[in-house]
Chains A and B, each alone.
Chain A
Amino acid sequence: MLSYTIKRVMSLIPVLLGLSLIVFFMIRAIPGDPAQIILGQLATKEAVAELTKQLGLDQPWYIQYFTYLGGLLTGDLGESIKTKTAISQEIWPYLAATIELSVCAMAIAIFIGVNAGIISAWYQNSWFDYIAMVLALIGVSMPIFWLGLMEQWVFAINLDWLPTSGREEVRNPVESITNIYMIDTLLQGRMDQFWDVIKHLILPAFALATIPMAIIARITRSSMLEVMRSDFIRTARAKGLRMFWVVYKHSLKNAIIPVLTIIGLQSGLLLGGAILTETIFSWPGMGRYIYDAINARDYPVIQSGILVIAFIFVMINLVVDLLYAAIDPRIKYN
């Protein structure tokens, strides 16, 4: 296990280097002179030359890359052109908002998805199975944009249970410490605000959870079906073990590997792909941060934003890989 962990972590180095290279060249592959595009058509030649120099674009590419890499290693993500603030400083509130939302969404997706998948497999071809799988099919193909607006219409306007958008009641704002509001309100012992934050989370988290939930349910079901047909399960049942333990302990442990893979991949997608949810629920997260940067041609922000998301994605999948080994001792690094 230890050698697997070490090897797996070591293998990250080329991955991360490759990642930084791709992001680096991706930005430079955009046609046109970034300095010119940033400043617009009316910019003077001097201004363009100055900005080119400021962005370091007058250097050869390998010098640019190593300067950039050196900066990254010391935690320097560059400076936003629009706000003239260090990105490492301004990125956290957006990232925190995204983490709060996607962790909640993933928790919902995993809890409901895995359980629905298990029950569907357990009672294969029952009405629960049919309904759950039809719902999963609908979920996978759900247009999030429409779903979000419908959620708002039903739960906020007609039933008046939940707020439509934002992270908090702005008339009674949360004082941010960590910018993860669930933690901030608990730290300050403001239970009223804690509930308020939870209420604001429910609709966007469900909207964001819909697709991964459906995918997880379907994968769990098919994986469980396969395992439950195997000999050791028959043996376990034959010796009189209670069905609950057969399913949740013996079968699930063997069926969970493909589910974990999907969870890892979907978590990454949630981080960067939440732009629609963030737009409908006006959630000030990373998706909109990067989207606005694209509109404003704020290249350093686009570059660092993508890099941070990709980095988290790699890390989540590292954890998933380590979990494989913890769950299934047969998995070795070779």
Chain B
Amino acid sequence: MNKRKGFLWLVFALLLSLALIGCSKSEETDAPKETDSNKDGETGEVAEEPEETATGGTLVFGRGGDSTSLDPASTTEGEAFKVTVNLFETLINFGEQDTEIEAGLATEWDTSEDGLKHTLKLREGVKFHDGTDFNAEAVVFNFERWSAGNAEQFYYYNSQFGDKIDSVVAVDEYTVEFNLNTPIAPFYKNLAMSPFGIASPTAIETHGEKFQENPVGTGPFVFKEWKRNDRITIEKFADYWQEGLPKLDSVIFRSIPENSARLNALASGEVDLIDGVNFSDVPTIEGNPDLQVFERPTLNVAYLGLTNTRGPLQDKLVRQALNHAVDKTALIDAFYAGAADPAINPMPPVVAGYNDAVEDYAYDPEKAKELLKEAGYENGFEMELWAMPVPRPYMPDGQKVAEALQANFAAIGVKAEIVSYEWGTYLEKANNGEADTFLLGWTGDNGDADNFLYVLLDEDAIGSNNYTYYKNDEVHDLLLKAQASPDQAEREELYKQAQVIIKDDAPWIPLVHSRPILAGKAGISNFLPHPVGSDLLSGVELK
């Protein structure tokens, strides 16, 4: 018996020592980790460059997904633009943290009286990463490439410009002229969108279809390596036209799909900056002196769509009643850690043309019940409430938000059944008008009112992004008129009118405008999150 026990202890001691050896080994190997970056010098290939410029260091950016393409024109995926915005530059730039227009690759621009001709003066002395000169020919080449492709190939070109551009002409080496068939009011804002980054004609000709894996632009960083589903590495462009930029030597974009795992990677120091932080994790990060929180200025809206063609929801009074039933402040406190504002209109207040005068349907269950009674639904009704299956910056947890709304509706006698599908199916079915009410949201592409109101609520957009089948001829006329008007003040007035009508028709319950959260090491400075969701990292410094 004693012998037996002795053996057991032996086994136990053996296991314990194994475990300890395992640990101490990893501790020993921790030491070289610190000096790894210096060891780069030994690997030969990368030996010279970092030595020379080893001041800015490497920033590792952790994000939720991999890019789909590195050619910004060929994709609509937000993750893709996070990288390409650092590789490519656009003719017009957005402001640092807003969507005002500023000089980009074009330094001056001028629009004809009728809004049909735009003339842009280009920046001189700019080179693509492959040494090709940036000039008017290159711009014309890019626009001709996009216009020759179809909607599947170059979605944004077709939706923002498409047939409306008649021709793009190189007047001289540094002057380009755009001739339009109809005026495009947000023309310059469109030009500032990431998909319209100017690519090197030489590289496009060399790589053909493989350009999406071999991007060449004029941006502050040069593409180096892409390991799919894992990481994308970009390096400082030595000949960048802006003196002293970029500050960093390289940036590595790592895809870490799980939000909590990504925060763990930041906390353990493997990555320097992450996006897609859970709102509920903000207090933890704020309590950690080694980390800091960044808020992205809002350019989004989360809403509950009330499909205007289904059952009781066809009745405007019912839709208004549901609007009165929702307690938005409670939603914001519970699910957004306060980093959101209640939404009144279908677009956030930063967008020019936002109507401040519109008043929200107050949270008032009694009023809601009255409206239901007036509409003939005194005893309420039953409907489906679709919950988004994926988290988005504007909708951190679809299921829980749906449950809160369900409780709000139950209080006025409306019985909502929560339903969810796989994301692709969810969008497809909702788009077919199969959902009674559904959660969804939108992040603006260029900060123009057209990009919210026309895209989400015009009758032309039924079948694409108008999921509620909302149709109002008056709104349609106003939106079309605003789209074609070259006079910004007049446009803003038209959008304000449209918002009044939309508020009364209540095709949605606008829920919140959220400020998406990012987090980084305390040593990061000059990082300015951009409202459109893709961040230029040329000014960022790492201490």
- Bound together, the chains give a CA A131 to CA B411 distance in angstroms of 51
Contact of A284 among B29, B32, B230, B431 (CB under 8 A): B230
A171 partner, pick from B209, B252, B257, beta carbons under 8 A:
B252
Q: How far is the CA of A295 from the CA of B422 in the complex (A)?
A: 9
Docked CA distance A126–B265 (Å): 41
Chain B residues numbered 2-35 whose CB sits less than 8 Å from any CB in chain A: 4, 8, 11-12, 22-23, 25-27, 29-30, 32-33
For A58, what are the chain B residues with a Cβ–Cβ distance below 8 Å? none
Bitwise interface map of A from 163 to 185 toward B, beta carbon under 8 Å scored 1, else 0: 11111011111010000000000
Cβ–Cβ contact B4 & A123, under 8 A: yes
Residues of A within 8 A of B37 (CB): 171-172
Q: How far is the CA of A156 from the CA of B267 in the complex (A)?
A: 9
Interface flag for B258 (CB, 8 Å)? yes
Q: Of the candidates A41, A165, A288, which one forms a contact with B229 in the assembled complex, judged by CB atoms under 8 Å apart?
A: A288
- Given known contacts A93-B227, A280-B261, A289-B229, A123 and B32 CB-to-CB distance under 8 angstroms: no
Question: What is the minimal beta-carbon distance from B523 to any residue of chain A, in angstroms?
Answer: 15
Report how far A44 CA is from B155 CA in the complex, Å: 13
Q: Name A166's contact: one of B30, B209, B270, B428 (CB within 8 Å).
A: B270
Chain A, Cβ-Cβ closest to B432: A41
Say yes or no: is A119 at the interface (Cβ < 8 Å to chain B).
Answer: yes
Interchain CB contact under 8 A, B227 and A284: yes
Contacts of A238 in B (CB 8 A): none
**Is B36's beta carbon under 8 Å from chain A?**
yes
> How extensive is the interface on chain A, given as a class?
35 or more
Q: Give the docked Cα–Cα distance between A279 and B209 (Å).
A: 30
Most chain B beta-carbon neighbours within 10 Å: one of A127, A169, A171, A202: A171
Which residues from chain B contact A282 at a C-beta distance below 8 Å?
230, 254-258, 261, 265
Chain B residue nearest in CB terms to A292: B229
- B428 / chain A contacts, CB cutoff of 8 Å: 37, 41
Which A residues are in CB contact (< 8 Å) with B58? 171
Answer whether residue A162 sits at the interface, using C-beta atoms and an 8 A cutoff.
yes
> Closest Cβ of chain B: how far from A147's Cβ, in Å?
12
Asked if B283 CB lies within 8 Å of chain A CBs, one says no
Q: Which residues does chain A contribute within 8 Å of B40, judged by CB atoms? A: 172
Task: Pick the contact of B423: A152, A157, A292, A295 (CB < 8 A).
Answer: A295
Contacts of A33 in B (CB 8 A): none
- Contact status B68-A157, CB under 8 Å: no
B264 within 8 A of A: yes
Given A41-B463, A82-B68, A164-B265: A171 and B36 within 8 A (CB)?
yes
Task: Flag if B424 contacts A153 (CB, 8 Å).
Answer: no
Q: Which of B45, B152, B260 has the most CB of A within 10 A?
A: B152
B265 touches A44 (CB 8 A): no
Contacts A128-B8, A163-B268 given; indicate if A297 touches B424 (C-beta within 8 A). Answer: yes
By a CB distance below 8 angstroms, the chain B residues around A165 are 256, 261, 264-265, 270
Is the C-beta of A160 less than 8 angstroms from some C-beta in chain B? yes
B4–A47 touching, CB < 8 Å:
no
A130 at the interface (CB under 8 A from B): no
Q: Residue B145 at the A interface, CB < 8 A? A: no
Whether A149 and B260, one on each chain, are in contact in the complex, defined by CB atoms closer than 8 angstroms, is yes
Q: Which of B222-278 contact A (CB under 8 A)?
A: 225, 227-231, 233, 252, 254-258, 260-261, 264-265, 267-268, 270
| Residue in A closest to B266 when the chains form the complex, CB atoms | A164
A90 CB–B CB distance under 8 Å: yes
Q: How far, in angstroms, from A182 to B230 measured CA to CA in the complex? A: 17
* A284 to B255 CA separation, bound complex (whole angstroms): 9
Nearest-neighbour CB distance to chain B for A128, whole angstroms, equals 6
Q: CB of A15 within 8 A of chain B? A: no
Using known A-B contacts A165-B270, A172-B36, A172-B39, determine if residue A281 contacts B151 with beta carbons closer than 8 Å.
Answer: no
Q: A39-B152, A47-B150, A149-B264 are in contact. Are A161 and B23 (CB under 8 A)?
A: yes
A162 touches B26 (CB 8 A): yes
B33 touches A123 (CB 8 A): no
Q: For residue B29, which residues in chain A have a CB less than 8 angstroms away from its CB?
A: 192, 195-196, 199
CA gap between A202 and B23 in the complex, in Å:
11
Contact between chains at A42 and B151 (CB < 8 Å): yes
Chain B residue numbers with a CB within 8 Å of A268 are: none
A128 touches B264 (CB 8 A): no
The one of B150, B151, B258 that contacts A279, using a Cβ cutoff of 8 Å:
B258
CB of A148 within 8 Å of the partner chain = yes
With A170-B60, A284-B228 as known contacts, state yes or no: A160 contacts B257, CB within 8 Å: no
Given contacts A93-B227, A165-B261, contact A44 B4 (CB under 8 A): no
Which residues of chain B come closer than 8 Å to A295, judged between CB atoms? 423-424
**B464 an interface residue at 8 Å Cβ cutoff?**
yes
Q: Which residues of A contact B150 (CB under 8 A)?
A: 44, 47
Determine the residue in chain A with the shortest Cβ distance to B66. A292
- Nearest residue (CB) in A for B42 is A190
**Nearest A-chain residue to B32, judged by Cβ:** A192
The residues in B between 469 and 494 inclusive whose CB is less than 8 angstroms from any CB of A are: none
The answer to whether B261 and A160 touch across the interface, beta carbons within 8 angstroms, is no
Q: Is A94 an interface residue (CB 8 A)?
A: yes
Partner of A196, one of B33, B254, B265, B463: B33
Is A45 part of the contact surface with B, judged by Cβ < 8 Å?
no
CB atoms of B268 and A288 under 8 A apart = no
Give Cα A111–Cα B423 distance, bound, in whole angstroms. 41
| Cross-interface CB contact of A288 among B36, B213, B231, B257, cutoff 8 Å | B257
Residue among B30, B258, B431 with the most chain A CB within 10 A?
B258
**B26's closest neighbor in chain A, by CB?**
A161
For B37, B230, B267, the residue with the greatest tally of chain A CB atoms inside 10 Å of its CB is B230
B interface with A by C-beta (< 8 Å): 4, 8, 11-12, 22-23, 25-27, 29-30, 32-33, 36-37, 39-40, 43, 45, 58, 60, 66, 68, 150-152, 209, 213, 225, 227-231, 233, 252, 254-258, 260-261, 264-265, 267-268, 270, 423-424, 428, 431, 463-464
Name 8 interchain pairs, CB-CB below 8 A, sorted by A.
A40-B152, A43-B151, A90-B228, A152-B268, A169-B33, A170-B252, A171-B36, A284-B255
Closest 4 A-B residue pairs measured CB to CB? A284-B229, A172-B36, A284-B230, A282-B256
Name 5 extra pairs, CB < 8 A, besides A94-B229, A163-B270, A167-B230: A43-B151, A43-B152, A44-B151, A156-B264, A282-B254
Interface residues of A (CB under 8 A from B): 37, 39-44, 47, 82-84, 90, 93-94, 119, 123, 126-128, 148-149, 152-153, 156-157, 160-167, 169-173, 175, 192, 195-196, 199, 202, 279-282, 284, 288-289, 292, 295-297
